[in-house]
Structure 1
């Protein structure tokens, strides 16, 4: 659990500042679970430059509660939480100073979104909250007021959690929580899990990730792990101390995250993703008569297929569908082995390319359409799918035929602006696994929105 906060102060000498406004959002890694926002009477003068910056003046604070009156609420909302702030050293120092004046020791773990942003987004021009949120397309209202800046930090932190593919933030948080309240009771662990699509992480008592999986119903899948009798499930049941998760909304994003994060984190109970889990590929060649031939064949190490399939059965099913949809020739697609015309020509389903009855130019237009539709070679495009809630969409970025990564957006201008779009993206490795995942998903999901990007 996190307490994401922002504090406005009077300014002045070091350790003599007073709080004029505070906003705290309790955040469970997915949604805000509690909040506290209040002006505070600092009982001291506000520096003129601070008044100009924040708009908060002494008249506004005359009837505001003094710090001792809000201290109990601050303790409650930050208890068992990691404090998160943009320049956390400053906000945490101010809070500790105010509590010290009351004779109360205030101690919390902290995370700084400036430092996290520098680690996870090293190419940003500036890491000030205003410039960073603008570059990422994060809307900010009431800049330099505690509530506006705290909410912007919530949105930034949510994005940083998504970009942290090594899961260091989550692992550290789990490690802290184990000491206080997480019980190794299987039923308790499943109670707060969602029945949503996403990736889940099973942790041991030290916070280490021991298993990563993907599911369209996270809670149901974890219950299966906790009740199954196979050897992997039994090991999970013995070692599990906590389960964390990331909702993705999109099954495609979940598949890509699972593949990437298993490779990065190498959990001890995951079998390494096999590079040969898809064995068949779609290939094309031009025959001596000038016709484009398609065929399903075993994947060869040094040849790049147009698209890939898990097994031969799914490949043959695909090519049969393409023959029907694009009115292609069975013989030129490797299905019919006859020496003369193919079977479909006899029932008038083939235009006669098998016996030269249709020109190569006419036939190849349709055959090339199949190739173009099922390959993203040299393409710049984004795939838009469901997001984590109704207001959000997920995006998969492909540039020049290379998978670049995934992200989430809730405003159209975020994806219409190429620079902002690339900032939103969590970079990921492009490999044969990701190519197979994306192409397979594109074949299966006809409602997936695909937008070709214009060059800047």
Structure 2
């Protein structure tokens, strides 16, 4: 659990500042579960430059509660949580000092989003909260007011959690928060898990990730894990002490995250999924007569695949459908071995490309139609789909046929801006598994839209 906060102060000498406003959002890793905000009467003057910066004046605070009147609420909302703030050292010092004045020892683990952002989103022009969130497409209202800044920090931290592919943040949280450990029957964890789409991470008591999975309903999937009696599930049930999760809003990003993070973290119970899971691929080449041929071959790194498949039978079945849909020649798709005309020509379903009866221009036009719709070998495009919230969208970025990564953005943000893309994209490795996942998914399921960046059209 995290307590994400922002504090406005009077300014003045070190350790003599007073709090003028505080906002705290209790965040469980995927949503805000509690919140508190209030103006505070600091019982001391406010520096003029602070009044100009925040708009908070002494007159506004005359009837506001004093710190001791809200101290209990602050203790309650931060209980068992790690404090998260933009420049956490400052906010934690101010809060600790106020509690010291009351004779109460307030000690919390802290996470600084400035330090995290520098590590996970390098090369930004500025790491001040206002400029950073603006460059990342995160809405920010009421700048230099506690509630507005804290709310923006929640969105920033949510993005940083997603960019933390090594899961160092949540592993630290698991080690420091024993209350997250499971009950023997695992019922507490199942009840609190979301019934939403995302990736989940099972940890042992040291915080180490022992299993990663994805599901369209995380709660349902955990129930299956914890009620199954197969050998692997029994071992997981004995060893698991905590489960964290990240919502993705849609299954495609969940699949990509699961694949990439299993390779990065190498959980002990994911051994079967660490290796590439496709075996065959469909490629194209031009024969000596100038016709574009399609061919199924063993997966390799020499040729760029149009589509990848888990096995040969799946590839062959798919190619038969492609041949029929685009009225292609079975000889030129490798499905009918012959030195003369193919079988489809004998039943008048092939126009004769197999015996040079159909012109290569006419035949190749249909093959190119298939390639344009099913391959992104040289394309620059964005795959847009649902986000984690109603006002959010997800984006998958393909550049020159290579998968660059994914991200999330606000509905009102100009996503085709290259600088915006650079900032919000969580960069991922462009491997064959990612290509297989993306191509298989968009072939079988609908996404909201695909933006072709070169032609600037929406399909």
TM-score bin (small chain): over 0.9
Is the contact made by 1:396 and 1:405 (CA closer than 8 Å) also made in structure 2?
yes
CA contact (8 A) 2:276 2:433 kept: no
Q: Corresponding residue for 1:126? A: 126
The answer to whether the Cα contact below 8 Å between 2:138 and 2:410 also exists between their aligned partners in 1 is no
* Alignment partner, residue 114 of structure 1: 114
> Counterparts of 2:410 and 2:216 in 1: how far apart (Å)?
22
Partner of 1:434: 434
Cα distance change on mapping 1:367 and 1:131 into 2, 3 Å? same
What is the CA deviation profile of residues 384-426 of structure 1, one whole-angstrom value per residue up to 9, with x for unaligned ones?
1222233222111111222111111122424132211221111
Which residue is 2:232 aligned to? 232
Aligned position for 1:337: 337
Task: Note the 1:15-34 alignment, pairs <5 A.
Answer: 15-34=15-34
The corresponding residue for 1:46 is: 46
**Quick one: structure 1 residues 393 and 281, their matched pair in 2 at CA, closer, same or farther if it must change by over 3 Å?**
same
| Native 8 Å contact 1:263 1:272 kept in 2 | no
Instruction: Return the alpha-carbon distance in structure 2 between the equivalents of residues 131 and 300 of structure 1.
Output: 45
Correspondence 1:72 to 2:86? no
Structure 1 Cα separation of the partners of residues 361 and 131 of structure 2: 54
Write the distance in 1 (CA, Å) between the matches of 2:236 and 2:82: 27
C-alpha distance in structure 2 between counterparts of 1:75 and 1:348, whole Å: 80
Q: CA deviation at 1:331?
A: 2.0
- Any idea what SS the aligned residue of 2:114 has? helix
* Deviation at residue 156 of structure 1 after TM alignment: 0.5
Deviation at 1:368, TM superposition (A): 2.1
**Cα contact 2:11–2:17 (8 A) shared by 1:** yes
Displacement of 1:305: 2.5
Residue 169 (structure 2) aligns with:
169
Give per-residue Cα distances to partners, 1:314-351, cap 9 Å, x unaligned: 21122122112211112211122344332323333222
Q: Which runs of 5+ in 2 are unaligned?
A: none
Secondary structure, aligned partner of 2:4: strand
Instruction: Supply the distance in 2 between the matched residues of 1:306 and 1:364 (Cα, whole angstroms).
Output: 16
Structure 2 counterpart of 1:279: 279
SS in 2 for 1:335: coil
Distance 1:206 1:414, change over 3 A: farther
| CA distance in 2 between partners of 1:80 and 1:179 (Å) | 7
Change over 3 Å in CA distance of 1:383–1:425 after alignment to 2? same
Q: Provide the aligned C-alpha RMSD in A.
A: 1.8
After superposition, what is the alpha-carbon deviation per residue over 1:56-93, rounded to whole angstroms, capped at 9, x for unaligned?
Answer: 00111111011111111111111111111111111111
Could you tell me which residue of structure 2 aligns to residue 94 of structure 1?
A: 94
Q: Give the equivalent residue in structure 1 for 2:148.
A: 148
C-alpha displacement of 1:159: 0.5
Shift of 1:230: 1.9
Q: Does structure 2 conserve the Cα–Cα contact (< 8 Å) formed by 1:117 and 1:160?
A: yes
The yes-or-no answer on 1:292 pairing with 2:295 is no
Q: In structure 2, how many angstroms separate the alpha carbons of the residues matched to 1:454 and 1:286? A: 25
Deviation at 1:275, TM superposition (A): 4.1
| Match in the other structure for 1:326 | 326
| Superposition map of 1:195-214 within 5 A | 195-214=195-214
In the alignment, which residue of structure 2 is the partner of 1:243?
243
* Matches of 1:262 and 1:440, distance apart in 2: 20
Structure-2 change in CA distance of 1:198 and 1:180 (3 Å): closer
Cα distance between partner residues in 2 of 1:105 and 1:276: 52
Aligned to 2:451: 451
Deviating more after overlay: 56-65 vs 424-433: 424-433
- How many residues are aligned here? 456
Deviates more, 1:197-206 or 1:446-455: 446-455
Deviation string, structure 1 residues 90-136 (Cα, Å, up to 9, x no partner): 11111111111111111111111111111111111111001101111
Partner of 2:35: 35
Per-residue CA deviations over 1:257-289 (Å, capped at 9, x if unaligned) read 111111111111110535452111112222232
Q: Distance in 1 between matches of 2:49 and 2:40?
A: 18
For residues 112 and 30 of structure 2, what CA distance do their matches in structure 1 show?
18
- Measured in 1, the distance between the counterparts of 2:178 and 2:268 equals 20
User: Deviation of residue 173 (structure 1)?
Assistant: 0.8
* CA positional deviation for 1:355: 2.5
In the other structure, the counterpart of 2:373 is 373
TM-score, scaled relative to structure 1:
0.96
Gaps of 5+ in 1: none
1-structure distance, mates of 2:297, 2:205: 47
Query: 123-132 or 368-377, which moves further after superposition?
Result: 368-377
Please give the alpha-carbon distance, in whole angstroms, between the structure 2 residues aligned to 1:258 and 1:78.
31
Distance 1:414 1:383 in 2: 14
Structure 1 distance, partners of 2:182, 2:238, is 15
Alpha-carbon distance change, 362 to 431 in structure 1, aligned in 2, over 3 angstroms: same
Q: Secondary structure at the match of 2:408?
A: strand
